[in-house]
A = this chain, B = another copy of it.
Amino acid sequence: MSEVSGGVLERTKNEEAEFVQPLVLGDRLKQIRLSNNLTLADVSEMTGVARSTLSKIENHQLSPTFQVVQKLVEGLSIDIPQLFRAAPADAGGASRRTWTKHGEGTPHPTATYEHELLCTDLSQRKMVPFKTTVRAHSFSEFGDWVRHDGEEFLWVLTGPVAVYSEHYEPLVLDTGDCMYFDSRMGHALVSPGETDAEVLWVVAR
């Protein structure tokens, strides 16, 4: 093995081609079909896959070609994860939801930003969303790069916003623009305009 550079893939070995879910696909297809009151003929017409083939798939009598899977996904206008994840059952009591009304987040001011933390009353989240008012009006107001693990997505609610980041030229985003970047790369926001800028910010760990 040519040195797997500590990347994404070093985990598995797959001792012996044990299938992930040999059945799920057919079951899922049937489930989707029935829950929409479709016949095999309907699905056949929508997807261009023969009735017979569909039948065999649903009954686990064959492993469809990727082409066929594509036709199904396209023709039924469903997305791939939806087709593969077993979607039955009750989600096992994983019912978690919360919301924050406009302006009612938790204030969290820093030297250069005015954060409003959102949806904080749900713990153990994969993402941390907040709305931020950018007070800084020049890059020199920053001491050093902000840098941490994770990834960030931001959407400009009120622009313009200048994005400074390591290894890159500054970039100016305006209202409705958005950006995604690796948080380990040093970054900072500046409001080049007259007024303070506002961005919606989501950080994933």
B74 touches A36 (CB 8 A): no
- Number of A residues near B (Cβ < 8 Å) is 110
B87 touches A148 (CB 8 A): yes
Query: What is the 8 Å Cβ interface bit string for chain A, positions 39-74, against chain B (1 contact, 0 not)?
Result: 100100111100000000000000111111111011
Whole-angstrom distance between the alpha carbons of A64 and B205 in the complex?
A: 27
B95 touches A168 (CB 8 A): yes
A74 touches B4 (CB 8 A): no
A140 adjacent to chain B (CB < 8 Å):
no
Given contacts A82-B146, A94-B185, A126-B150, 20 further A-B pairs with CB under 8 A are A1-B38, A1-B39, A1-B45, A2-B42, A7-B35, A8-B32, A9-B36, A12-B46, A14-B48, A63-B65, A79-B110, A82-B148, A91-B166, A92-B184, A93-B167, A97-B168, A97-B181, A100-B177, A129-B180, A153-B202
Which are the 5 A-B pairs with shortest beta-carbon distances? A102-B176, A97-B181, A96-B182, A119-B180, A126-B204
Chain B positions within 8 Å of A36 at CB level: 4-5, 7-9, 143-144
Whole-angstrom distance between the alpha carbons of A79 and B79 in the complex?
A: 14
Chain B positions within 8 Å of A87 at CB level: 147-148
Chain B positions within 8 Å of A93 at CB level: 167-168
Residues 18-50 of A contacting B (Cβ, < 8 Å)? 18-22, 25, 32, 35-39, 42, 45-48
A153 touches B180 (CB 8 A): no
22 contacts between A and B (CB under 8 A): A2-B38, A7-B37, A8-B77, A9-B32, A12-B46, A12-B75, A13-B75, A14-B48, A14-B74, A21-B70, A63-B66, A65-B65, A65-B66, A77-B109, A78-B110, A91-B182, A91-B186, A94-B167, A94-B184, A99-B177, A102-B175, A118-B178
B99 touches A173 (CB 8 A): yes
